[in-house]
Amino acid sequence: MKLRPLLLAVAVLAVLSGVVALVNRPPAPPAADARIGQPLVATDLVDKAAGFRLTSDGKTVELKKTDGVWRVVSYHDFAADVDKLTNFVREYTEAKLARLVTSNAAGLARLEFKDTRVQLLDAAGQPLLELVLGKMADTGGGRFVRLGVEDKAYLANLRSSFLDVEAKNWADASIFKLNPDEVAKIELNFPSALAVGGTATPTSAMDSVVATHAKKEEPYVAEHAPVGQRLKPNAFTVLLSNLADLRFSDTAATDAPEAVAAKASARTLKLTTFDGKTITLGFGRKPEEKKPKVANAKPADATATPPAPDKPAADAAKPVEPEFDITPAGPVFVTIAHSDPAAPVNALMTKRAFQIPDYIFAALPQKIEETFEPITPEPASATAPASAKIPETPAPAK
């Protein structure tokens, strides 16, 4: 057998084998998604953002940065709650895209992408980034997200299943902050006993308590205290503590009927600081209304058996208790006026009427007698020497 034809056949077979291998080679795996392992929201993108828009269940809340201050555009342009906003941003910048879940239309539908979305906005209000949020993962934690309109769903290790779209919740609820150590003088008014139908006494006839101290370490002393009484050491402790960070629970229009009624019946607290500034607060609520019920007259029952002449009717001697329709007292509102025209609380009061928790109003001393106590005499010292007694000299014996 000649060598040349054999080598030629081997070469041909090698070529054919290579062609077959090339044809049957499995396709190369797709390139890994470069987003996997990256933050859901890049911190540099947050730094560029001039606003946030959050949408869910048909509600939208928008926040915007103006002159370096974040404000809730959707809630009367109030300053935003910085702590809440910081925690929100931290969650989205710390979350990472764990894996690509699907790019299949049927798969996307199962992940419940609806109208829940987070948008980072530029100064013109246009989206820098849009995240569409789906349901939480059934196992392993995390939440499914889409980046804008892309037909891809990722799993991000977000912890929260709740997107807060109540605009009020994003506003800074702090109305006024007070350092009790700075208060030199307290003036609190009371409704007099006669005004509420009571009997006037030397104490209850007063309509206000005025208390001062020269140094923060000293106790408050009441001006014009009733004879034999003094101000309780802790008469205003709770009151001042509640004003350390006074926060609203809700707001209303300044001309809302409940707010106007609350202002008309407000009790006044005036604080003077050691540096001469004054803060006047009014606490009030629409009073409870009590109206007699209108009796429904019923025709006499002609078939009823009249009582025996010697037995008076049993109900004749019973007085009829009146019935009333009672409308509960309204929510508590506060008004604040600061002697410093530049104090932020003055501008705040022009925007809305501020509702505060009921317990703050309830903690006010309700009767002037509650602020005083009898002056007790100092007990005699147990070591005081007893009065010397001169012994009687016996008469001389006779």
Condensed to tens digits (0 to 9), the pLDDT of residues 159-180 reads 988 999 999 999 999 999 999 9
Integer distance in angstroms from the first to the last C-alpha of the chain? 184
Q: Could you give the residue ranges of the DSSP H alpha helices within 95-160?
A: 105-110
Instruction: Give CA–CA dist 374/370, Å, rounded.
Output: 11
What does DSSP say about strands 127-136 and 143-147: parallel, antiparallel, or unpaired? antiparallel
In whole angstroms, give the CA distance from residue 358 to residue 260. Answer: 17
- Cα–Cα dist 52/216, whole Å: 45
| CA–CA distance, 148 with 22 (Å, rounded to integer) | 40
Q: 236: buried, middle or exposed (CB in 10 Å: 19+, 13-18, 0-12)?
A: buried
Question: Helices in 243-370 by DSSP H: which ranges?
Answer: 257-264, 344-351, 358-362
Residues 253/352, Cβ–Cβ less than 8 Å: yes
Q: What pLDDT score does 323 carry? A: 83
Q: Is the pLDDT of residue 150 over 70?
A: yes
The answer for residues whose C-beta is within 8 angstroms of residue 172's C-beta and 6 or more apart is: 78, 79, 80, 81, 82
Strands (E), 232-377: 245-247, 250-252, 267-273, 278-285, 289-292, 324-327, 332-338, 353-356, 372-374
Helix (H) or strand (E) holding 4: helix 3-24
The bridge status of strand 221-222 relative to strand 208-212 is antiparallel
Q: How far apart are CA 275 and CA 182, in angstroms?
A: 8
Q: Could you tell me which of 239, 203, 248, 207 has the C-alpha nearest to residue 220?
A: 239
pLDDT at 398: 46
Tell me, what's the pLDDT at 397? 52
Q: pTM for the complete prediction?
A: 0.76
Q: Does pLDDT of 25 surpass 70?
A: no
> Average per-residue pLDDT in the chain?
85
Place of tokens 């101000």: 231
Read off φ and ψ for residue 369, nearest 5 degrees: -60, -25
Provide the pLDDT confidence category of residue 91 given band limits of 50, 70 and 90. very high
Query: How sure is the predictor about 297, in pLDDT bands with cuts at 50, 70 and 90?
Result: very low
pLDDT digits (tens, 9 = 90+) for 178-216: 999 999 999 999 976 434 444 444 444 458 999 999 999
Q: CA separation (Å) from 56 to 53, 135, 186, 207?
A: 10, 13, 48, 52
Q: For the CA atoms of 158, 159, 161, 166, what is the dihedral angle to 10 degrees? A: -90
User: How does 333-344 read in b/e, with b if 16+ C-beta sit within 10 Å?
Assistant: bbbbebeeeeee
| pLDDT band, very low/low/confident/very high, at 280 (cuts 50, 70, 90) | very high
Per-residue pLDDT for 300 more than 60?
A: no
The tens digit of pLDDT for each residue in 50-84 reads 999 999 999 999 999 999 999 999 999 999 999 99
Of 164, 171, 163, nearest to 73 by C-alpha is 171
Nearest to 373 by CA among 240, 236, 225: 225
pLDDT of residue 327: 85
pLDDT score at 273: 98
> DSSP 3-state assignment of 265?
coil
Quote the CA–CA distance of 338 and 360 in Å, as a whole number: 20
Beta strands at 117-121 and 97-102: parallel, antiparallel or unpaired: unpaired
Structure tokens, 391: 């012994």
Among 376, 364, 368, residue whose Cα is nearest residue 222: 368
SS3 call for 126: coil
Q: Which two tokens stand for residue 99?
A: 């894996």
Residue 341 structure tokens = 């025209």
What's the chain's Rg over C-alpha atoms? 40
Q: Closest Cα partner for 206 from 370, 42, 51?
A: 370
pLDDT at 234 over 70: yes
Distant-in-sequence, close-in-space partners of 166: CB < 8 Å, separation ≥ 6: 59, 61
The single-letter DSSP state of residue 380 is: P
Q: Taking 80 as the threshold, does the pLDDT of residue 379 lie above it?
A: no
